[in-house]
């Protein structure tokens, strides 16, 4: 079997081994996938050791995505722009290549799994950290009419808006604080880590209108704090990030193996695990 792993700290909670085992079973690919906890001070050594032992590919999770990006000899275009990598592999010449499949995962979950078309829509993205930077390119590639990045720290939202301005070909791209948006959006995506602490970004409920769809990039067994708030203020549909997690994994699997696993049954299985 070819060896793959997710590397993080901590990593024991990761669903990636389960997801990739289900993909391997489904596709018949000879894939063995484990979890590796790298020491905080030696991510690089752990990665090099993995590939020296013949490992074929790594997924990278918190807190090493930026280090993975910096370590790579080559980066895909989408990883370059994301400033972080969740997927590593070696090319034919043994160069370490960094990719980022997170944004692709989010867009596929929204568009393919939930039927949310983004073209011509007004999108509000909350947060301006690494998670949001990773998804802005793929979101803009769907040609929304408007994309507003709102963040607690305005300067970080402005930095992202400048960075992605070249990608916003037919999108009005703007940055603001949480107090500014006050009209309904078609799609609201929560990319802050606020819900991890049960916090809510202090947004006006008027961002939710009759047809607003809400997506929280976090997932949990219960409805997330943000999605709960959105439902209370009239959102028509709320989704959590489980589908995104499975879709980014599927895209990594495709990058490594050249085979696209189906995701619907895997999402269903994880939901009921
Ligand atoms: P990640 O990789 O998850 O994006 P990050 O780069 O630390 O992690 O970014 C966390 C994001 O969540 C930021 O947008 C942060 O806002 P600031 O830029 O103002 O720090 C946001 N965030 C974290 N805790 C929050 C809270 N309690 N309320 C609102 N936003 C919060």
40 is in an annotated binding site: no
Ligand 1 centroid distance, CA of 201 (Å)? 10
Contact 125, 147 (CB under 8 A): yes
| The predicted structure's pLDDT at residue 209 | 96
> Cβ contacts of residue 138 below 8 Å, gap of 6+?
78, 103, 104, 106, 107
| The predicted structure's pLDDT at residue 195 | 80
| The predicted structure's pLDDT at residue 22 | 98
* CATH code for residues 103-240: 3.40.50.720
User: Which value does ipTM take for this structure?
Assistant: 0.98
Does the Cβ of 42 fall within 6 Å of ligand 1?
Answer: no
Does the Cβ of 130 fall within 6 Å of ligand 1?
Answer: yes
Does residue 56 carry a catalytic annotation? no
Q: Whose CA is nearest to atom 7 of ligand 1?
A: 129
Closest CA to 49 of 12, 100, 15, 88: 88
Domain layout of the chain by residue ranges: 2-100+244-272, 103-240
| The predicted structure's pLDDT at residue 198 | 85
Please list, residue by residue across 2-38, b when 16 or more beta carbons sit within 10 angstroms of its beta carbon and e when fewer do. Answer: ebbbbbbeebeebbbbbbbebbbeeeebebebbbbeb
What are the pLDDT digits (tens) for 6-46?
999 999 999 999 999 999 999 999 999 999 999 999 999 99
Ligand 1 centroid distance, CA of 74 (Å)? 28
Ligand 1 centroid distance, CA of 193 (Å)? 5
155 is in an annotated binding site: yes
What are the pLDDT digits (tens) for 172-195?
999 999 999 999 999 999 999 998
Does the Cβ of 62 fall within 6 Å of ligand 1?
Answer: no
31 has which bridge partners? 2
Maximum CA pair distance of the chain? 55
| The predicted structure's pLDDT at residue 226 | 96
Do 2-100+244-272 and 103-240 come out as alike in CATH topology? yes
101 is in an annotated binding site: no
Does the Cβ of 202 fall within 6 Å of ligand 1?
Answer: no
72 is in an annotated binding site: no
Whole-angstrom distance, CA of residue 167 vs CA of residue 40: 34
Residue 151: C-alpha distances to residues 101, 128, 174 (Å): 23, 6, 11
Q: Whose CA is nearest to atom 21 of ligand 1?
A: 192
- Collect the ranges in the chain with pLDDT lower than 50: none
Contact 67, 9 (CB under 8 A): no
Ligand 1 centroid distance, CA of 99 (Å)? 23
pTM for the model stands at: 0.97
| The predicted structure's pLDDT at residue 191 | 97
Q: Which CATH code of 2.40.30.10, 3.40.50.300, 3.40.640.10, 3.40.50.10860 fits the domain covering 2-100+244-272?
A: 3.40.50.10860
Please list, residue by residue across 92-123, b when 16 or more beta carbons sit within 10 angstroms of its beta carbon and e when fewer do. Answer: eeeebbbbbbbbbbbbbbbeebeebebeebbb
């Amino acid at each position: 079997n070819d060896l793959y792993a997710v590397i993080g700290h901590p990593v024991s909670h990761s669903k990636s081994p389960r997801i990739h085992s289900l993909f391997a079973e489904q596709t018949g690919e000879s894939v063995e996938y484990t979890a590796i906890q790298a020491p905080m001070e030696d991510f690089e050594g752990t990665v090099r050791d993995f590939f020296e032992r013949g490992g074929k590919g790594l997924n990278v999770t918190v807190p090493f995505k930026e280090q993975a990006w910096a370590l790579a000899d080559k980066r895909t275009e989408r990883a370059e722009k994301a400033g972080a990598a969740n997927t590593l592999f070696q090319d034919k010449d043994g160069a370490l290549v960094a990719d980022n499949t997170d944004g692709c995962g989010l867009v596929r979950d929204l568009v393919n799994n939930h039927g949310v078309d983004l073209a011509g829509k007004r999108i509000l993205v909350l947060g301006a950290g690494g998670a949001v930077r990773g998804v802005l390119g793929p979101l803009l590639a769907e040609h929304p009419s408007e994309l507003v990045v709102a963040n607690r720290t305005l300067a970080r939202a402005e930095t992202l808006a400048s960075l992605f301005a070249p990608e916003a070909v037919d999108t009005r791209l703007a940055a603001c604080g949480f107090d500014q948006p006050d009209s309904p959006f078609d799609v609201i995506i929560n990319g802050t880590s606020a819900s991890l602490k049960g916090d809510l970004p202090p947004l006006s409920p008027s961002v939710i209108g009759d047809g607003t769809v809400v997506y929280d990039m976090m997932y949990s067994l219960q409805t997330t704090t943000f999605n709960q708030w959105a439902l209370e203020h009239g959102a028509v549909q709320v989704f959590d990030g489980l589908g995104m997690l499975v879709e980014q994994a599927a895209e990594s699997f495709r990058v490594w193996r050249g085979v696209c696993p189906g995701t619907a049954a895997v999402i269903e299985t994880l939901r009921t695990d």
